[in-house]
Structure 1
């Protein structure tokens, strides 16, 4: 019996050793809580602690996790200082939450290291410690910030980040990609391209991509959004497996989005090309915006989403966004007002109220506005067909007063944007013209063509420097004649014709037979090219160009200019003259010119004479042939009656054909009733003021 008892006790002791490897001297004490108001607290006491990790009750979430290690150093935060001590055999360490073992050394309040741990790792762990008095969410935010700052501090390239990942593979994979993006932000495109190649060749890159895909469903959605954005911005191809997996995970978790996630997702989709997953996410984003629009707190978030949801968004959603923006107008900062132009252009929604209010704020705070923002505003105005004379004037005056701080290319880009909006600021154009005279020898071919296009389109004349300007531009263009393309040569010559300048070298080269044949055989711009050739030919025929060796070339007749319906003006003219025989309408002239209405008047402009089709092209010296041209608002520079390039050249050529020109503004006729319209037209026709003339160019 004694033998059986001793055998039983020996077996029981051995089984205890298998369960708890602390030897026979180990005693476990459990503090019982009858009401179960507290988590059970277990204290282990042992004189000989094995060097291994023991995790008790993983299946019980309520139990605290204990780690017992031999020959380990403990770094613990006490107050604001980090205390280092060796772990004793009776140490009991409590942790705030149950974590996976691979993350304990980063998220726990204590950090365990062996005596052989390098001092470098010890120092880095000290840097990552944060105060324990903060709540958990605040702690994690600060910890992430410290992690990013630490990585950026020790990494100069994206490859360095992967090297760091190789040393610390258990660190959050999302933070590595976010760090890569923050490093790549300051790189040029060539540097990014080179760094991406090194990235793909790095042995740890695939491992990092695998890890980020595994963690995609468990990390915070905000961190996942930033990771996807980082992948796109550093240039990882959109069709790669890692990007598509993250897109699918974001689709599954899109309902978890808060305002920050919506903002980051909007910026990400804005930078991506169209694909099935992108379209699905954009559709989901539209639904979320429609649902959460009234709860958005930040105006930039609203503007970012406006740029993302795109032109194809349903009109009710666009209107709802407009109403939300209108409600937030009193909170708009100058920067918010500047960005609203681009947001509305991306949404393709022309809200005049919003644009007008934002224009006032931008004009009032224009000083200090960067060049790229000025260009964005002007391009958005062009896309939205929005013209605000006060806004454009404020921008132009700001550039004029700070002219010396702007590069020539920047001013030229702004002038091109103004030209597309029909805005002509005389002081700025004269100032730029003087700079062109100073740096004419450094102008390249593209700049020369742009300058000619701007000044010809706006029909701008500098009374003092016009002749010198044209001569300088001609000399600059002549240096590029041996290598200029046929189409660019035609555009330059056409601009010279508009400006009433006829330099011999460009004209002689243009009218070579091989160049003319090449232009007439061009495909996409055939009609436009043929029109410019006819206009150049008309200049050679109707203006004083006898000094040119190039004769007018023979071109096939282009299609007649389409007759324009001017029923309102015709009705007013009938009420005024009360006789159809006193005018002709839609008169076709040589060189494809069309006159809307032709009148015959005495030399004193006091009487209208009858006219018939038989004597259409015959006239007596004391009888004036008057051409009434019905012109739209777009034929003039914005806010003025200054004719643009095409209209100015037509007026010159009609004068050469024997006509006196009267310009009738159709938009003014349309907004008047019949009696006022008759009075308006009567004052135009029987005025004692000189007839309308094109701007006089100094030649």
Structure 2
């Protein structure tokens, strides 16, 4: 028997044992594999005596070892879980189930594994003709470098199928990564329709166990990045082979595997590999040499990793901090965000490097840094200011959409860069005709949320934005219309057309019955209704809006401030707490003072709404940091509007910074609050309410 025949019989026997382990030997089937799963599996039986396949129970995990990390060593144990499966599902076997502490490998003796691998290798070698043996990998590289599309690569494969098939997929990815999404979509369709595609998939699956592991990792990475569906047979086979060979991984292989799993959807095989990767990283973390490899692993391991592993990766990064380049510092924000681990020391050090090397940093990297800061709830005034200054000084090189993206990211961080917002406002005046509905709503949200007013061009800006919005009124949704009108209220601007369209009975009823958004919509309608009463809106055609009042149970009691007031006045009759006002407004504490603000008078609930001459009604509002723009005492839009409306109700407003009270002891807190109440600066002017 020659080598080709023996190799064929050996492979056929292995296929029969591994894929078709039925109890009855009288059933023989021929399976037609569809790599893309575009059709259902077809099973042809040579025996006509059976009308339907018989289900059987097979030992799914027989011959499998579970490897578990204990201390610094990987311990092994046998599995013998029985899994019931049917014949119809054997074409695409169920992925093995893994827990978070173990990964699986084939339970074969070293000698048997080496013999099997030798037989496969011999089979491949003996299939090569002498002429094909003379063509080396350099020749293959020269051939595929001439390809301009993925179909061209398959054409080369059709002529030279005995070359390393993994290189073909890697070449396809190199070609595809320079294409647009539309081009990739067309190329993938041509790829699936090419007659050699199925043959290439078969060859890659055959080579998976014998190629170098790095080449296998790059092949899996290329297949995923090309856009081939993750659930096809080819991908699942590659994932299973990687599971079997996971202990062979070096740093490069781990890095490529991490980048691959980072982009893949969750599945049993992907979760199993991710669990195995966590074990290997936990064991090999101190031997990793490259910072980029560490950051790639952090992104792959993800937020579900155990905290000790996250902490270990943080310590490794801190240990290598002196080796960080400015690019490593930029990437660290995204890595920590993916890991969902807020390391202040690491973030602060990386922020310093980013600030020092801000010039030339691309748009996508700056946006990634800002978005990561939001995910990690990390705020750094120097970092945000440096990014804002850089965008301002290079303003002409940025598109309007890019600057708007920066401003939106800053708004989510509560950061108000005055120079950048003023400069963008002037561009809006010049290019208002090019704004679409989404951009208009985004601009209104940013400027109203941060309560930003331009000193000279504010009214002109509001009129231009109103004119741009009016062109979309016939087709704007009710909820977007409400959001726009609410933003105008925050900016103390009341254009007639948007308000009149909103204040229609059918629109209001639609908003109040909008499902999950109804509660938010009702709250905004309360604010709009308050503006109609307290602001100068006589030109508007208003209709009565009946809205339910908020329950007093929703009020939050500020116990710390109340204790300080009791120590300050030594009489709880000198103030009222949680005073409810019209339009669902309430103040934390109310005081009655003389016009010179030197004496406090007793107050009762009976005379809350009684106005007395020469008596000042003072409202103490306990506000958190989030009510102000970051790094300043500039009130954001909601607080600014509430202060205006309380002034219309006859109050003088004092803002009590709750974070200051909480960090002080009682005596310093009493002194601090006394200064707030009795100082001349305690009462904002009319312009401060608007700005």
Same-fold status (TM-score > 0.5):
yes
Matching of residue 100 in structure 1 with residue 125 in structure 2: yes
The Cα of 1:213 is off from its aligned counterpart by: 0.3
Q: Are the aligned partners of 1:337 and 1:361 in contact in 2 as well (CA < 8 Å)?
A: yes
The match for 2:487 is 495
The match for 1:624 is 616
Alignment partner of 1:600: what SS? Answer: strand
Alignment partner of 1:335: what SS? Answer: helix
Structure with more relative contact order (C-alpha pairs < 8 Å, separation 6 or more): 2
Q: Distance in 2 between matches of 1:654 and 1:393?
A: 33
Match of 2:518 among 526, 544, 548: 526
Matching of residue 378 in structure 1 with residue 370 in structure 2: yes
Q: Are the aligned partners of 1:181 and 1:234 in contact in 2 as well (CA < 8 Å)?
A: yes
The equivalences for 1:120-269 within 5 A come to 143=137, 147-148=140-141, 150-269=142-261
Q: Cα gap change, 1:107/1:325 in structure 2, threshold over 3 Å: closer, same or farther?
A: farther
The structure number with the bigger radius of gyration is 1
What does the per-residue CA deviation read over 1:270-324, in whole Å, with 9 as the maximum and x for residues that have no partner?
1100000000000000000001100000000000000001111000000000000
The match for 2:652 is 660
Q: Cα gap change, 1:603/1:643 in structure 2, threshold over 3 Å: closer, same or farther?
A: same
Alignment partner of 2:680: what SS? Answer: coil
Q: Cα gap change, 1:541/1:527 in structure 2, threshold over 3 Å: closer, same or farther?
A: same
Q: Are the aligned partners of 2:151 and 2:191 in contact in 1 as well (CA < 8 Å)?
A: yes
Q: Are the aligned partners of 1:342 and 1:380 in contact in 2 as well (CA < 8 Å)?
A: yes
Q: Cα gap change, 1:106/1:292 in structure 2, threshold over 3 Å: closer, same or farther?
A: farther
Structure 2 unaligned regions, length at least 5: 1-121
What does the per-residue CA deviation read over 1:442-465, in whole Å, with 9 as the maximum and x for residues that have no partner?
100000000000000000010101
Q: Are the aligned partners of 1:152 and 1:183 in contact in 2 as well (CA < 8 Å)?
A: no
Structure 1 unaligned regions, length at least 5: 1-96, 112-124, 129-142
Q: Distance in 1 between matches of 2:485 and 2:308?
A: 49
What does the per-residue CA deviation read over 1:166-199, in whole Å, with 9 as the maximum and x for residues that have no partner?
1111111100000001100011111111111111
Q: Distance in 2 between matches of 1:326 and 1:532?
A: 46
The equivalences for 1:504-653 within 5 A come to 504-560=496-552, 562-653=554-645
Q: Cα gap change, 1:481/1:152 in structure 2, threshold over 3 Å: closer, same or farther?
A: farther
Q: Distance in 2 between matches of 1:644 and 1:395?
A: 21
Bigger mean CA offset, 685-694 vs 526-535 = 685-694
Q: Cα gap change, 1:242/1:292 in structure 2, threshold over 3 Å: closer, same or farther?
A: same
Q: Distance in 1 between matches of 2:682 and 2:379?
A: 31
The match for 1:323 is 315
Q: Cα gap change, 1:544/1:98 in structure 2, threshold over 3 Å: closer, same or farther?
A: closer
Q: Distance in 2 between matches of 1:564 and 1:306?
A: 40
The match for 2:345 is 353
Q: Distance in 2 between matches of 1:561 and 1:176?
A: 67
The Cα of 1:102 is off from its aligned counterpart by: 4.8
The alignment's TM-score, normalised by the length of structure 1, stands at 0.80
Alignment partner of 2:543: what SS? Answer: coil
Matching of residue 471 in structure 1 with residue 463 in structure 2: yes
Matching of residue 411 in structure 1 with residue 403 in structure 2: yes
Q: Cα gap change, 1:603/1:596 in structure 2, threshold over 3 Å: closer, same or farther?
A: same
Q: Cα gap change, 1:207/1:540 in structure 2, threshold over 3 Å: closer, same or farther?
A: same
Matching of residue 679 in structure 1 with residue 678 in structure 2: no
Q: Are the aligned partners of 2:172 and 2:226 in contact in 1 as well (CA < 8 Å)?
A: yes
Q: Cα gap change, 1:289/1:621 in structure 2, threshold over 3 Å: closer, same or farther?
A: same
Alignment partner of 1:529: what SS? Answer: helix
The equivalences for 1:302-321 within 5 A come to 302-321=294-313
Q: Cα gap change, 1:487/1:275 in structure 2, threshold over 3 Å: closer, same or farther?
A: same
Alignment partner of 1:424: what SS? Answer: coil
